[in-house]
Structure 1
Amino acid sequence: MASDLERVILVQVLVVVFLSINIMLIVTFFMKDVFYTTMRYILFAHALMSDCVTLFTTNLLLIFSFIGNPVHIFSCLVMFILTSVCNHLTPLTLTAMTLERYVAICMPLRHAELCSTRSTLQVFLIIYGLGVIPCILIMLVFFVSVSSNFNKYIRFCAAEIFIVHEWQGHMRSAVNQFYFLVMFVIIAFSYIHITKVAKAASGENRTSSRKGLRTVLLHGFQLLLCLIQLFCPMVEAAVLQTNIKLYTNFRYFNYIMFILAPRCLSPLIYGVRDDKFFLALKYYILCGLLKNKFITGFQKGVTDTVRG
């Protein structure tokens, strides 16, 4: 039990740290209108919010699992819906951010037109439309197949509870594989074309293209971890049927590797690597002590919004 307690404490420390960082970044995002009127930063803030919801709900599930008290099935249903949707929103948002970098570097003259605020709203409609489809499919089958009585408690709150037919699990697997394939193709397409532009560019444009290329690579790695997470429930379902203790250990490993790890990359990609956003973040953390330096640097950064 001591080992399990240490695991839970470690997770709580990591979750608090990541949530605190994400909240600081979200607050910084709303402090400057240039951020919430630019597609790349709007998508970044959306990814942060989605990560916060995922961290909060999955951490609650981890705590409930550790305590061992039964969970009301309705509470489990709400957390499953939030977690399921956000698990798909994050990779979909990362894919949209990759496409934005592709347009900014490979089609700079059309960037303002294709990545306007109005286009951002359309992108969000697509992201949420695709994000809720897997959850809706599972919920429809679940409500049709089981009794409407939700006044009961369950021992483990997991996605497998809502998989009532074997074909339903295969359907979820097929949808996730299709999403994986489409997102992988988009990432590979963007990477190849940005690489060509980076090789052909010179001077400042070459530096900007290379920075954008590194951003796409980080998005690709982050996206890979998020997409692997989509397949974890299927493996966990098989492990659950063999050994409860092994299932708990396996779920803990998946949580650290494929839920916490990808969520710590978002602050790195834009919160630290993006000069303009990092300058604003540092300014608000230091309560404006570097005001003159911030104004000079920020004004310079505004002219580089579509770069790297």
Structure 2
Amino acid sequence: MNDERMLIQVIVVLFLCINLLLITTFFSKEVFYTTMRYVLFAVTLMSDCMFLFVTDILLILNYSRYTIQMWCCLILYIISSLCMVVTPVTLTAMTLERYVAICLPLRHAELCSPRSTLHGILIIHSLSSLPFMVFLSIFLALASSASYTQVRICTLDIFIIHTWLGHFMFAINQFYFLIMCSTIVFSYVKIMRVAKAASGEDKKSTWRGLRTVGLHAFQLLLCLIQLWCPFVETAVFTINLELSIKVRFFNYITFILAPRCLSPLIYGLRDEMFFHALKKLALCGLRKKH
């Protein structure tokens, strides 16, 4: 188990370093922070950094069986819940941006302007905050004031004070899952039709966009499965403690770390303009060291 903990810490630190390098690259050129798809990419990177940091703290606390007061656990849960939903919602927005760029090219400049990007970010964070705000409001209404000073191991199940509350949150997550999956499928089908009808350079560009949407779909699937993980872990926890720790480890690697390593791949390495800027920044850093 100690080897597993060490492996997770190495992976988390590695991804945080890579994401911070990508964020630095994003701010290195004006074209990046004035273009919607790069701005949305940066939003996912920042959200992923915060999410990895907070969930890693929670994982360490759980592994060590360390107890904290519920109000502190509630703050960590609020941050992780927001960041957990921001990434799939942003990925859905990035897919829509690719749909507009390929299927509605004449309206792309209008619909994906810097002003529209700002409005889009506000909508993304509003939609992402809605599930946990509803959950938080219900929890605050039902929980006693004395419960906030109780010392407990920080897990999601300590906030599920009634069974129906867990079912309610599960229903909200399923609704989000359905909407985001429908959006991805709609965009993929529309882009596929344009790709088949295109020719020459347009066809090559369109198929590249289709592959990007396909990667987004896979990444989004992993992120959306993650919405089910807390309920699976809670169910397993009531059966066997040791098994629940192993399930939590598997879920963390597969549905938390894995989708977040795809973001650097999709835009950090596959995007030619961003890759050249990243390469230039990395090489300048190495030259300064020498």
Shift of 1:104: 0.4
Displaced runs of 4+ in structure 1, greater than 2 A? Answer: 149-152
- 1:152 corresponds, among 122, 138, 150, to 150
Q: Percent identity?
A: 57
Any idea what the Cα deviations from partners look like across 1:160-199, whole Å, max 9, x if unmatched? 2111111111111111111111111100010001111111
2:262, 2:137 → 1: CA distance? Answer: 34
Instruction: Quote the offset at 1:289 in angstroms.
Output: 9.0
Match of 1:258 in 2: 255
Task: Tell me the distance in 1 between the aligned counterparts of 2:134 and 2:235.
Answer: 21
Long gaps (5+) in structure 1: 291-308
Unaligned 5+ segments in structure 2 are none
Q: How does 1:28-67 map to 2 (within 5 A)?
A: 28-67=25-64
Question: 2-side partners of 1:128 and 1:185: how far apart?
Answer: 20
1:209 aligned to 2:206?
yes
Asked if the contact 1:139/1:162 (under 8 Å) is kept, the reply is no
Q: CA deviation at 1:151?
A: 2.2
Given that residues 106 and 197 in structure 1 are in contact (C-alpha distance below 8 angstroms), is that contact kept between their aligned partners in structure 2?
yes
- 1:178 corresponds in structure 2 to 175
Of 263, 273, 277 in structure 1, the residue corresponding to residue 274 of structure 2 is 277
Which residue identity does 1:89 align to in structure 2?
A: V
Residue equivalent to 1:164: 161
Q: Which residue of 2 aligns with 1:293?
A: none
Q: How does 1:230-249 map to 2 (within 5 A)?
A: 230-249=227-246
Q: May I ask how many residue pairs the two structures share in their alignment?
A: 286
Q: Which residue of 2 aligns with 1:189?
A: 186
Q: CA RMSD in A?
A: 1.3
User: What residue in structure 2 maps to residue 200 of structure 1?
Assistant: 197
Partners of 1:7 and 1:66 in 2: CA distance = 11
Q: Distance in 1 between matches of 2:34 and 2:119?
A: 14
How far apart, in 2, do the equivalents of 1:170 and 1:289 lie? 52
What's the TM-score, normalizing by structure 2?
0.96
C-alpha contact 1:138 1:162 (8 A) present in aligned 2: no
Give the distance between the partners of 2:120 and 2:149, measured in 1 at CA: 39
Q: Which residue of 1 aligns with 2:226?
A: 229
**8 Å CA contact retained: 1:229, 1:259:** yes
Counterpart for residue 76 of structure 2: 79
CA distance, structure 2, for counterparts of residue 288 and residue 264 of structure 1: 23
What TM-score comes out, normalization by structure 1 length? 0.91
Q: Deviations over 1:133-169 (max 9, x none)?
A: 1111111111111122322310x21112111111111
Q: Distance in 1 between matches of 2:286 and 2:132?
A: 47
Seen in structure 2, the aligned counterparts of structure 1 residues 201 and 86 have a Cα distance that, compared at 3 Å, is: same
Partner of 1:286: 283
Task: Write the deviation string for residues 220-254 of structure 1: whole angstroms up to 9, x where unpaired.
Answer: 00000000000111111111111111111111100
SS of residue matched to 1:92: helix
Task: Please report how far the alpha carbon of residue 63 of structure 1 lies from its aligned counterpart in structure 2 after TM superposition.
Answer: 0.9
Q: Secondary structure at the match of 1:71?
A: strand
Distance 1:58 1:289 in 2: 32
Match of 2:98 among 88, 97, 101: 101
Shift of 1:66: 1.8
Which residue of structure 2 lines up, in the alignment, with residue 26 of structure 1?
23
3-state SS of the aligned residue for 1:44?
helix
Q: How does 1:109-128 map to 2 (within 5 A)?
A: 109-128=106-125
